[in-house]
Amino acid sequence: MVSLAAPARVGFADKHPTAAFVLRRTGRMIILLLLLLVLSFAMIHLVPGDPVRAELGPRAPVSAIEARRAELGLDQPIPKQFVDYVRGLLTGDLGTSTTSHLPVSEVIAERLPNSAKLAGIAFVVIMLFSLSIGMIAAIVTRNGRHSGTELGFTTTTGFFATVPEFVLGVALVYVFGVELKWFPVAYEPGVAAYVLPVAALSIGSIAALSRIVRVETLDVLGADYMRTARSKRLPARLMYLRHALPNMLTSTLTLGGLLLSGLIGGTVLVENVFAWPGLGTAVVDSVVAQDYALAQAIMVLLGATVLIINLVVDVIIGLIDPRSTIREL
């Protein structure tokens, strides 16, 4: 690994391995964040043709084009534009959406909570269900017990792990919304509207993750320290929750972190199934409508979220499992 932060401070890294680890990871994230900014900035300039001309139409007079260019700062030298762009991002001045004619920051402020709630609830649901389902499946099927249950488990989870969120979403809309009429099929205020989108978003991940949790649990259950725990004749609660669970946390959290960034993609899809007024529908609409300012802002926001999630997960794992930090030094 290239060391990106705190180079040559050997003494510091030796004395505070965890702090050095956090610093290094933060440094790496900042570099990636800069890369993201450059890319999103470049995006506008890489658009073929003249975006201003595209916005104002082929018949707009040159003077109007020039005026609009100046308004957007596009007549400035590129480095100046970049600095202005970053300053705008930091101060919340993200330009104006060309489709809604509202400030981009306003559009985002209105839509972000809806997406965040959806993804957050789905994440909690996924972790709770996949951990418990995977652990129970492992305990039931350990050492080749109940091979029928095992086959049923792997077949069912294999199926649901393959069905993509949007297909599952459409199926849920049809069964529970159209036929049974149990839940609303599109966004409306209230808890009920969350049921189907959360289900569509989480079922596939629960299936995939609980398979992995089962394998991890089987691994842990076969470990020597679990034999020691059995030799102590501990009650099942302590055996599984105290002795087995912490040993699976590192791998489960790693996967959970990957899953969270994956959830961002999934949310975009599911929002579009359920006409959810979140960032996912906004970003797709803005790309299709060539509303660059909005697309750019959402892309930076989603990208930064992924980077921050990865950093947080890395740091949490480093703190929980000090061996992984040490190994890397």
For other proteins, the binding residues in 186-245 under the rule CB under 8 A are 222-225, 227-235, 238, 242-243
If one counts every other C-beta atom within 10 angstroms of the C-beta of residue 281, the result is: 21
Output the smallest distance, CB 241 to other proteins, in A. 12
> Which residues, numbered 170-189, are part of the site for other proteins (CB under 8 A)?
170-171, 173-174, 178, 185
Q: Which of 2, 8, 62, 236 binds other proteins (CB under 8 A)?
A: 2
User: Cβ contacts of residue 2 below 8 Å, gap of 6+?
Assistant: none
Please identify, among the stretches 112-120, 132-140, 156-164, 209-217, the one whose residues bind other proteins according to the rule CB under 8 A: 156-164
Output the smallest distance, CB 76 to other proteins, in A. 21
User: Cβ contacts of residue 294 below 8 Å, gap of 6+?
Assistant: 97, 98, 99, 104, 107, 282, 283, 286
Output the smallest distance, CB 60 to other proteins, in A. 21
Which is nearer to other proteins, 42 or 64 (by Cβ)? 42
**Secondary structure (DSSP) of 89-136:** HHHT---B-TTT-SBHHHHHHHHHHHHHHHHHHHHHHHHHHHHHHHHH
> Which residues, numbered 36-75, are part of the site for other proteins (CB under 8 A)?
39-40, 43, 46-48
Do 54 and 74 touch, CB atoms closer than 8 A? no
Do 137 and 153 touch, CB atoms closer than 8 A? yes
Which is nearer to other proteins, 12 or 225 (by Cβ)? 225
Angle formed at CA 176 by CA 175 and CA 180, multiple of 5 degrees: 90
The CA distance from 99 to 115, in Å, is 20
CA 67 to chain centre: 40
Sign of the CA dihedral 280, 282, 285, 287?
A: negative
> Which residues, numbered 85-144, are part of the site for other proteins (CB under 8 A)?
142-144
Place of tokens 């470049």: 42
282 counts as binding other proteins under rule CB under 8 A? no
Which is nearer to other proteins, 206 or 221 (by Cβ)? 221
Which is nearer to other proteins, 63 or 188 (by Cβ)? 188
Q: Which of 30, 18, 107 is nearest to 310 (CA)?
A: 30
Output the smallest distance, CB 228 to other proteins, in A. 5
> Which residues, numbered 257-276, are part of the site for other proteins (CB under 8 A)?
258, 261-262, 264-265, 268-269, 272-273
> Which residues, numbered 285-314, are part of the site for other proteins (CB under 8 A)?
287-288, 290, 292, 295-296, 299, 302-303, 306, 310
Please identify, among the stretches 80-88, 126-134, 160-168, 211-219, the one whose residues bind other proteins according to the rule CB under 8 A: 160-168
Output the smallest distance, CB 63 to other proteins, in A. 28
